[in-house]
Amino acid sequence: MDQHDLLIPDFQIWRCAWEINAHDDDHLPSIPHGHCIDKKRGYLKLNVFTGAVIDARTNDQAGTAKAKDISRLHKSKAFRKIVMTARQYHAEHFPYRPLPPLPAFAVKITNRYKRCKQRLKSSFTQHEPILIFSLKVSLRRNGERPSNRSRINRHSNRVVSRSKYSKF
C-alpha cells in the first residue's frame, strides 16, 4: 500500500482518531469513509462529506461531527488526494456500483487570503488550483490605485469616486 492510500488526520473528530483508507472495499457510508482506530469505539465509521458518525454494528447514526472539524479535513491536500484515489479505485474494481456525486460543498473549497487580497479556488475535478484575483489587485496591475473613499464598479471594472452624500 502506498503512503498516499492511507490518511490519519492529526486531529480528533468526534473525540476519536480516524483512519481513511483509499482502497477500502466497503462503500458505506461514503467513498471514502473513516474508521475509528480507538480500541473502545472501533466499530464507528465516519462519512467524510456529511460528518455523520455511523455505528457499523447497527448501521444507525450515532452522532454528527462538528462542521469545523469536517471543514478542516476538507482543506487538507492529502484528503483531496485520498478522495480522488478512492473514487478511481472503486470505479475500476466495482464498475457495477455507481459512484455517488460529490456534494457541492465538498467540490468547491474556497480559501481567502486577506493579506494578498486574492482568493484561491480549487476543486476535486481540477488538478491545479485556479487563482482568482479581486478587482483591487487587477486595478493595481494596470497602474491605477483605488483610494479608500472610492468604489469599484463591478460591471466596467472602473473606479468610481464616492462622495460623502452618495448612496453607494
pLDDT band at 5 (very low <50, low <70, confident <90, very high): confident
Strand partners, 122: 109
Count structural domains, the chain. Answer: 2
Residue position matching grid coordinates 479608500:
148
**Residue 130: inside a domain, yes or no?**
yes
Alpha helices (H) along the chain: 67-74, 77-93, 104-107, 135-141
Q: Is 122 found in the same domain as 72?
A: no
| Shared domain check, 112 and 72 | no
Vertex 122, ends 120 and 128: CA angle to 5°?
Answer: 100
Range of the domain at 58: 3-93
Do residues 7 and 72 both lie within one domain? Answer: yes
Is residue 167, in this structure, part of any structural domain at all? no
Q: For strand 44-47 and strand 33-36, is the pairing parallel, antiparallel, or unpaired?
A: antiparallel
pTM exceeds 0.85, yes or no: no
Residues 122 and 82 in one domain: no
Whether residue 50 is found in the same domain as residue 114: no
Q: pLDDT tens-digit profile of 96-142?
A: 988 888 876 554 444 444 455 555 444 444 333 333 333 344 444 45
3 state DSSP class of 78? helix
Residue 99 lies inside a defined structural domain of this protein: no
Q: Are residues 79 and 148 part of one domain?
A: no
Say if residue 9 is in the same domain as residue 63. Answer: yes
DSSP state of 50: T
Burial of 23 (0-12, 13-18, 19+ CB in 10 A): middle
